């Protein structure tokens, strides 16, 4: 199976876009490792090579994802995220520990975090909502990416109006977090939740606006009507 990884790396090296290579780092505060391949091209490479492993067992595919994550390369992490999401119909409760390991050990930037958590982890949580309690554990982690993951894993369920109480509980845990990427993560979660539960999110923001970091607050109210946004921003 290592052969498919070697072929992916050749394709990525042959698909470098010079502008992407030069400009990618500016989107990240932390130093990242990357080839410089446009995301649509990465997705195409991911899809092409998945055809050759689609018949493999879930654990074999997860093992390939592990190899991709271990590289530390941004584009390889995106492929790992795509592949783990491709087999979502086969998720079982035991798989949560695999996803948790990837976040805790390998995620080192917001793009990898969000790509994994919006889709793979979010889908898993919708399938097995008992694991919402695990996200609260994430929110208390010393690892900034675990804390961001606690919030961004709920973006898609939030848009559907799901798990409001749990979303507010995670926001409570993260409310005073000093990390701006965590603030943006839970602000984004609240913004997503406002699409289906606008009044509840507005009331939460107003109740906490005196202590909520302005970064999180601005994210949370972004999709609200102008009148509500103005009221939320009042000192």
Given a cut of 90, whether residue 2 has pLDDT beyond it is no
Percentage of the chain with pLDDT > 70?
99
Given a cut of 90, whether residue 67 has pLDDT beyond it is yes
- What is the per-residue pLDDT for 61? 98
- For 163-204, write each residue's pLDDT tens digit: 999 999 999 999 999 999 999 999 999 999 999 999 999 999
- What is the per-residue pLDDT for 180? 97
- What is the per-residue pLDDT for 101? 98
Mean confidence (pLDDT) of the chain: 97
- As a three-state string, the secondary structure of the chain is CHHHHHHHHHHHHCCCCHHHHHHHHHHCCCCCECCCCCHHHHHHHHHHHHCCCCCCCHHHHHHHHHHHHHCCEHHHHHHHHHHHHHCHHHCCHHHHHHHHHHHHHHCCCHHHHHHHHHHHHHHHHHHCHHHHHHHHHHHCCCCHHHHHHHHHCCHHHHHCCCCHHHHHHHHHHHCCCCCHHHHHHHHHHHHHHHCCCHHHHHHHHHHHCCCCCHHHHHHHHCCCCHHHHHHHHCC
By C-alpha distance, which of 20, 31, 112, 21 is closest to 65? 112
- Mean of pLDDT values over 56-80: 98
| Domains of the chain as residue ranges with CATH | 1-90 (no CATH), 95-235 (1.25.10.90)
- What is the per-residue pLDDT for 127? 98
- What is the per-residue pLDDT for 134? 98
- What is the per-residue pLDDT for 235? 72
- Mean of pLDDT values over 31-47: 98
Given a cut of 80, whether residue 64 has pLDDT beyond it is yes
- What is the per-residue pLDDT for 1? 62
- Mean of pLDDT values over 141-161: 98
Structure tokens at 167: 């979303």
- For 90-137, write each residue's pLDDT tens digit: 999 999 999 999 999 999 999 999 999 999 999 999 999 999 999 999
């Amino acid at each position: 199976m290592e052969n498919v990884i070697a072929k992916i790396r050749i394709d990525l090296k042959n698909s470098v876009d010079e502008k992407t290579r030069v400009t990618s780092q500016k989107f990240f505060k932390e130093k990242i490792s990357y080839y410089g391949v446009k995301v649509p091209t990465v997705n195409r490479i991911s899809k092409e090579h998945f055809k050759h492993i689609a018949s493999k067992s879930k654990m074999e595919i997860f093992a390939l994802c592990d190899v991709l994550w271990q590289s530390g390369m941004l584009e390889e992490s995106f492929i790992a995220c795509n592949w783990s999401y491709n087999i979502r119909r086969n998720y079982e409760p035991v798989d949560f520990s695999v996803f948790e390991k990837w976040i805790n050990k390998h995620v080192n930037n917001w793009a990898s975090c969000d790509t994994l958590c919006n889709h793979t982890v979010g889908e898993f949580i919708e399938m097995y909502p008992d694991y919402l309690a695990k996200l609260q554990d994430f929110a208390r982690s010393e690892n900034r990416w675990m804390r961001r993951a606690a919030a961004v894993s709920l973006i898609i369920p939030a848009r559907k109006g799901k798990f409001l109480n749990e979303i507010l509980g995670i926001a409570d845990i993260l409310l005073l977090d000093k990390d701006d990427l965590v603030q943006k993560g839970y602000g984004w979660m609240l913004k997503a939740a406002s699409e289906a539960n606008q009044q509840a999110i507005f009331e939460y923001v107003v109740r906490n606006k005196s202590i909520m970091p302005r970064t999180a607050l601005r994210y949370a109210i972004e999709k609200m009507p102008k009148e509500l946004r103005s009221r939320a921003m009042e000192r």
